[in-house]
Each structure stands twice: as C-alpha cells, then as structure tokens.
Structure 1
Amino acid sequence: MRWYHSDSSETFALEHHLYVQLCAEAALLHGGVHVTTREDGAAVWYPPDGGVSDEDYNTFKFTMRNPDKMDRLSDLPEACDVFRPNEAHWTLELLGVDPNAQNAGIGPI
C-alpha cells in the first residue's frame, strides 16, 4: 500500500511504521496480533466491532506529511463492505512477511 504514503523512501518507512503500530496497538487489546514462531511473518486481526478508533485514526492522519493521501485510504473499508459477511466476524487488517522469507508459504499459515 505504498500509494498512501509520502514519496521519499525515508518518509515512507517512518509513516508505514507508524501506521502498522497504530493498527497493531488496536488489535493487541483483543489478542489479534499473531506472529510466526521465527518472527518472519505476522497478521493483525480486528474482532467484530474492534479496530482503530476514529479519534486515533484522525490524530494519526494529521501526523502524515500529506494527510490528504490518507483520505484515499479512508474510502477502502467502505468499498469492501459489499464483500463482508452479515454476521459478526474478525477482519484481517494487515498481513506481512519478511522479504527474506517470502515465497516460503508463510502467508497462508
């Protein structure tokens, strides 16, 4: 999701780190962060009615170099709503695999 961050690599790394931290902190409250035993892959899950609060998201948004780019990201959950089940469910917010461990089947675990 490189498109919602600033253009410089250094700023991208910082902004992406802060975004992952924001998401992970919200999931940690509900036991929704899962890491592989070798710590080369991780998944961040939100429980039903869980996730980043609007207040925390807006605070985060205005720490970005280009907060207007975050408006594009804000449209994503609404666009996905048509694919969500009607019953309560957990939502996969982030999935990451260390580049050195990619193509080793870690993501599907």
Structure 2
Amino acid sequence: MSLPTVRPVRPGDAAQLAVTMARAFDDYAYTVWTVQAEGRFDRLRRLYSLFVAEFAAGHGGVWVTGDCAAVASWLPPGVTGPDEAFQERHGAAIAELMGDRLPFAAAAGEITDQYRPTEPHWYLASMATHPDWQNRGLGASVLAPALRRCDLDGVPAFTETASEANVRFYRRAGFEVVAENELPDGGPHLWFLRRPPGAAG
C-alpha cells in the first residue's frame, strides 16, 4: 500500500476537514461528554471549523492527507490555547455550540490543563481519521510531520485521549502514559501521554 500524501492544511480544506473530524468524534466519549447531544454532528463540524481550520491552522499546526481523510491538529511550543482575540470573536458562538454541556466542557478543560507540561512542547489537540478510512495507516502518516519537528527541535509531544484504543495507537508512535484521571460526574476516563524527542515509533 502506498503512503498517503500529507501536507499542511490550506484555507480551502476547512469544510472537508471539519466533516472528517465531526464524523470521527460524533460518538467519542470526550465529545459526547462536552457537546450537547441534539445536533451534535453539526455542532462538532462548526467547532472544528473554528478551533482547527481557523485557530490551530493559523499557528501552522495542522496537517492533513491530501483529501482530508485524516487530520492532525497541533499547537506549537508557546501556544497554550485560543488567545484573547479568538475568544472575543468566537466565545459566544462556542458557548452556544457546546450547549447544555458547556459547564462540563469547562470542567474538562480545567482538568486537562493541569496535566499540560510546563516545558516547551508540541500539543496534539486532536487527531482524526474519517470512519470510512480508518485502519489504513493514515493516522500515523498525518502525525509524522510534527513528530519529526519535535525530534529536530529536541522537544516533547503531549496529548490526551478518552479511548484505550487510542492509547495503543499513540504508544506505537512513541508516546507513553504519564497520568490518568476521570472527568467528574460520571465523565470518561482520560489518559495523558508524553512522547520524548527521538522516541522510537
């Protein structure tokens, strides 16, 4: 099987990128916990348009396969999350899209932020493969550019997941679990993973 073409995201990718991510995360434990159930697919599509196609892409942290069947959205060292200007422009829309799960999303964000490294690192905010294209190596391919950058710059990568299957996937890329926690009020279990620079994957 030939390796897929992987490239930085382009402005024209926004719509397909958002569909891929919404399809991948529509039944994912974390997004089920943090985004209102009614119309969740459309809510997710619009949220990923903002967080990935606009914010993360603006920091050069998004890579896709040529057809956007797989997406990796990273924040580079020094970028911890949406800045004040982004929040001013989109905060009200984001709150509306989270809907009745907004308090749960806020609580989840506070918990996950506690585990972010204080050292410079690349943060994998989200990685998705369209369900029709999973188990074909696209996920590993789309992670590779940022992991190479980590190795060249000598900085770690960090992410979290609410899926044990994802833990196995990330371990194959050189990540190791460094902490675990439960979201409150019956929320999903989370694994926090760190990949040191130069880790074998």
- TM > 0.5 fold call: yes
Within the candidate set 84, 90, 95, 1:62 is matched to 95
Which range is displaced more, 24-33 or 42-51? 42-51
Q: Which runs of 5+ in 2 are unaligned?
A: 1-30, 142-201
Query: Residues 23 and 51 of structure 1 are in contact (CA less than 8 Å); yes or no, is this contact kept in structure 2?
Result: no
Query: Residues 47 and 94 of structure 2 are in contact (CA less than 8 Å); yes or no, is this contact kept in structure 1?
Result: no
Within the candidate set 23, 27, 38, 2:56 is matched to 27
Cα distance in 2, alignment partners of residues 32 and 65 from structure 1: 24
Cα distance in 2, alignment partners of residues 46 and 79 from structure 1: 18
Aligned-residue offset at 1:50 = 4.6
Question: What is the alpha-carbon root mean square deviation over aligned residues?
Answer: 2.2
Q: Flag the structure with larger Rg.
A: 2
Within the candidate set 16, 34, 56, 1:4 is matched to 34
Q: Flag the structure with higher strand content.
A: 2
Aligned-residue offset at 1:85 = 2.1
Which range is displaced more, 83-92 or 55-64? 55-64
The normalised TM-score by structure 1 is 0.78
Cα distance in 1, alignment partners of residues 133 and 107 from structure 2: 31
In structure 1, what is the equivalent of residue 6 of structure 2?
Answer: none
The normalised TM-score by structure 2 is 0.46
Amino acid at match of 2:104: R
Q: Which runs of 5+ in 1 are unaligned?
A: none
Which range is displaced more, 92-101 or 74-83? 74-83
**DSSP 3-state at the match of 1:39:** coil
**DSSP 3-state at the match of 2:136:** coil
Aligned-residue offset at 1:56 = 4.4
> Which whole-Å deviations, capped at 9, do the CAs of 1:16-53 have from their partners, x for residues lacking one?
01110111111111111110134210011112225323
Higher relative contact order (CA 8 A, sep 6+): 1
**DSSP 3-state at the match of 2:139:** coil
Residue correspondences, number:
106
**DSSP 3-state at the match of 1:62:** helix
In structure 2, what is the equivalent of residue 17 of structure 1?
Answer: 45
1:90/1:56 CA distance change after superposition, 3 Å? farther
State yes or no: 1:52 paired with 2:74: no
Cα distance in 2, alignment partners of residues 33 and 71 from structure 1: 28
In structure 1, what is the equivalent of residue 104 of structure 2?
Answer: 72
In structure 1, what is the equivalent of residue 72 of structure 2?
Answer: 43
